Structure 1
């Protein structure tokens, strides 16, 4: 009996206005013949070309989800704190602000007999962060239905993003993974995305895989664009996309600590 053909879905997230990284990842996805792309949010902020990133993701992504930056950056009450926030907001078109704020919280589907749920940060909010060194309670909470996720079938596989820190974990019959970041990867600044492979929309058990892909790109070219456009917080952006050092640690002089 011949095996059932497997579907492939590329999961990208946290592009953060880094168009050069996005195009490198999209080229890799295309080169593999993958046509379905799901985006787990954070299109804007930190990098210089949020407007172009939003347009590109609207063009190529079948699913686009809400991220924490997409939620708070267009909010006029929350973007006056510093020059960078005002700059990233004003670089977008007004209709893009509305599109970002209106994005869905999560996306549920079935793959190879597994109930899969994707969201940006946690099951309760795009602003609640769950790191790789989470507690068991945090782990179990990622699989729960909440007012944010709605009352769909409870997932046995959850993919999320937000922390820019890819990982894969299985326990208690459940699978949790983090896609990492395309445009602002920390620790290793090389963009990373995930390929899910399995039988889409099938409730029958079938082969299933989660693959992490690193895609080199010209980070110095992206930094040059940011400088040319006059983007604020350039030193912090350089620390992130060149050295993989989170800007909070850069400002505080801490050599590392994004994981803590």
Structure 2
């Protein structure tokens, strides 16, 4: 089995194009998509059109749920712009997606943890806007009693692979559309990258392997679109990488 896992596209079609082109080089049997597809100030509708043609297993993320369930009268101007771009087939598609999924009886898909799309799994809040790496005990506590060999999650935008004592793998592929630094330890704050991130998961020789990947793309064009759509903070993040 060989699959590509991506998450947190956030409407960044330019980044998605680059990631899909890179995935094509690897001969995967399926793309697994962990949600947060459209919420972002870049190109939500073009992102939707690109995803509509893919053979993939997809689930919803927390921002997908907000777009579907929220009171649209209470949305700010930028959020209303996203919803307007997604009217019709994209919103219907979001509504058809499950919150979690299992692929090949081996890989569990969740956006946050298996129980919550808003809970950070491999990184935890450490106060005053800071994050820390979750302990092995904290990671393990989120797992169901009967386990699969591989669990993937998104939500934090931080790429990380954790292997537990029993061999269970829990990983985050990072974000396609609004990357963060690769790791959330203090040293990595100096290693910001604007590249798009995803992962290739492969089973060979009876073992599972997760290969984290970063793909360069025209992030400055994405930054300019975010700026034009009134989101200066996104523009900065897309231009140079995102620091918590």
Report TM bin, short chain: 0.7 to 0.9
Using a 3 Å threshold, how does the CA distance of structure 1 residues 211 and 231 change in structure 2: closer, same or farther? same
Question: CA 1:13/1:224 → structure 2, altered by over 3 Å: closer, same or farther?
Answer: same
**Alpha-carbon shift at residue 170 of structure 1 (Å):** 1.2
* Deviation of 1:107 (Å): 1.9
Gaps of 5+ in 2: 124-132, 182-192
Give the structure 2 partner of residue 38 of structure 1. 32
Q: Distance in 2 between matches of 1:79 and 1:16?
A: 21
1:155 is matched with: 148
Contact 2:7 2:35 in 1 (8 A): yes
User: Hey, what does 2:126 align to over in structure 1?
Assistant: none
Equivalent residues of 1:25, 1:182 under 8 A apart: yes
In 1: Cα distance, 2:66 partner to 2:119 partner: 13
Tell me if 1:65 matches 2:70. no
1:125 aligns with 2:123: no
Question: What is the CA-CA distance between 1:33 and the residue it aligns to?
Answer: 2.7
Name which of 148, 160, 163 aligns with 1:167: 160
Q: Partner of 2:143 in structure 1?
A: 143
1:191 CA displacement: 0.7
Q: What is the deviation of 1:14?
A: 0.7
Q: Which moved more, 1:156-165 or 1:70-79?
A: 70-79
Instruction: Note closer, same or farther for the CA distance 1:109–1:36 as it changes in structure 2 (3 Å cut).
Output: closer
> SS at 2:28's partner residue?
coil
- Residues in 2 aligned to 1:170 and 1:154: alpha-carbon distance in whole angstroms: 13
Q: Give 2:238's aligned residue.
A: 241
Q: Please, what TM-score do these two structures have when normalized by structure 2?
A: 0.82
- Aligned-residue CA RMSD (Å): 2.2
- Counterpart in 2 of 1:197? 202
TM-score scaled by structure 1?
0.78
- Residue 9 (structure 1) aligns with: 3
Closer, same or farther: CA 224–239 of 1 in aligned 2, 3 Å: closer
CA contact (8 A) 2:72 2:80 kept: no
SS class of match (2:207): coil
Q: For the residues of structure 2 that align with 1:79 and 1:142, how far apart are their CA atoms?
A: 35
Checking the alignment, whether the CA contact within 8 Å between 1:65 and 1:120 is kept in structure 2 is yes
Number of corresponding residues: 223
Q: Cα–Cα, structure 1 residues 220 and 16, in superposed 2: closer, same or farther, change >3 Å?
A: same
Name 2:46's counterpart in structure 1. Answer: 52
Note the C-alpha offset of 1:226: 4.1
1:131-181 alpha-carbon deviations (Å, 9 max, x no partner): 422244531233216xxxxxxx53232111111000011123121111100
Answer yes or no: is the 8 Å Cα contact 1:28–1:215 preserved in 2: yes
CA contact (8 A) 1:38 1:61 kept: no
Q: Which has the larger radius of gyration?
A: 1
Q: Give how far 1:79 is off.
A: 6.5
Q: Which runs of 5+ in 1 are unaligned?
A: 1-6, 146-152, 200-204, 246-255
1:214 and 2:205 correspond: no
